[in-house]
């Protein structure tokens, strides 16, 4: 056991005074600028805080109103999304009921009749607009 300790002591480098001095100088040369940059960053942070805090207090009503407007806009989009989902759900229910009635052999109910009527109205309106635009183009071409 005593021999192992003697071997360890023999293999350890012996630190002399100049070695310690050079290591300390190297530590100061590397750590000094880092400490200076840390102090400068801290000073800049405190200065920015001292300048921005009064501005934050002065403009807080504007900031709060902007936050309120953003919150209301987000709530509006959420409500619109909920209404869109409810519309899709209602359309799916109508489609399911129409398919159930048709598969049961029932005649077309009032929902299907209204859909057919609206389909005809849309087709008539499209034909009216198509005729209007054709006439408009012909008139402009001849002028």
Give domain status of residue 6, yes or no.
no
- What does the pLDDT read at residue 19? 84
Report the half-sphere exposure of 76 (CA within 13 A, side-chain side): 6
Structural domains of the chain, count: 3
Q: Mean pLDDT across the chain, nearest whole number?
A: 82
Q: Are 143 and 118 members of one domain? A: yes
Same domain for 80 and 115: no
As a whole number of angstroms, the distance between CA 111 and CA 4 comes to 99
**pLDDT of 106 above 80:** no
Q: What is the mean pLDDT of residues 87-99?
A: 88
119 or 140, greater pLDDT:
119
In whole angstroms, what is the distance from residue 75 CA to residue 82 CA?
10
Q: In this predicted structure, what is the pLDDT of residue 12? A: 64
pTM of the model: 0.39
The span from the CA of 54 to the CA of 11, in Å, is 64
Give the mean model confidence (pLDDT) for residues 41-47. Answer: 94
Domain containing residue 39: 14-58
Q: Kindly report the CA angle at 91 between 88 and 97, in degrees rounded to 5? A: 140
Nearest to 109 by CA among 99, 124, 118, 119: 99
- Is residue 89 domain-resident? yes
Asked, for residue 66, whether it belongs to a domain, the answer is yes
**For the segment 53-74, what is each residue's pLDDT rounded down to a tens digit?**
888 888 888 888 999 999 999 9
Average pLDDT over residues 33-49: 94
């Amino acid at each position: 056991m005593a021999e192992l300790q003697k071997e360890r002591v023999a293999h350890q480098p012996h630190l002399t005074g100049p070695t310690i001095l050079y290591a300390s100088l190297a530590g100061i040369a590397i750590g000094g600028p880092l400490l200076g940059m840390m102090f400068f960053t801290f000073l800049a942070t405190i200065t920015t805080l001292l300048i921005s805090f009064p501005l934050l207090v002065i403009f807080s009503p504007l900031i709060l109103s902007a936050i309120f407007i953003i919150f209301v806009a987000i709530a509006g989009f959420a409500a619109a999304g909920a209404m869109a989902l409810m519309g899709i759900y209602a359309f799916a229910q109508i489609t399911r009921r129409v398919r159930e009635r048709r598969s049961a052999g029932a005649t077309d109910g009032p929902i299907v009749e209204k859909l057919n009527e609206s389909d005809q109205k849309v087709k008539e309106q499209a034909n009216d607009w198509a005729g209007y635009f054709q006439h408009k183009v012909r008139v402009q071409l001849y002028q």
